[in-house]
Amino acid sequence: MEKFSIEDLSMKEVTIIEQKSGLAIDKLADEDAPKGPLFTAIYWVAMKRENPKFTWSNAEDTSFKTIMTFIGAMGETSDPNSEK
């Protein structure tokens, strides 16, 4: 799978994520906002890019560890001079 970046989302995908999660996408930066629905929706949109048959239920059944690994990988950079 190609590296997924929030910045590459289409506005249609942002709208879908917000509708499915019930949260604005900017809630990613809000430490107090619930993240489960938002992470699930982001993961679902990303997986549907690769596999159009990937369902919302598939995303909901994905382990927390798998989604957190995916979300963490989104924030990684390929800049060798960046701190990790």
The 10s digit of each residue's pLDDT in 16-71 is 999 999 999 999 899 999 999 999 999 999 999 999 999 999 999 999 999 999 88
User: Does the structure show a pLDDT above 50 at 82?
Assistant: no
Helix axes 36-50, 64-74, angle to 10 degrees: 80
pLDDT value at position 77? 44
Give every CB contact of residue 49 below 8 A, 6+ residues apart in sequence: 4
pLDDT recorded at residue 80 = 42
Q: For residue 46, what are the contacts with CB-CB under 8 A and spacing of at least 6?
A: 1, 4, 70
Residue 61, amino acid: D
What is the residue extent of each domain of the chain? 8-74
- Its pTM stands at 0.80
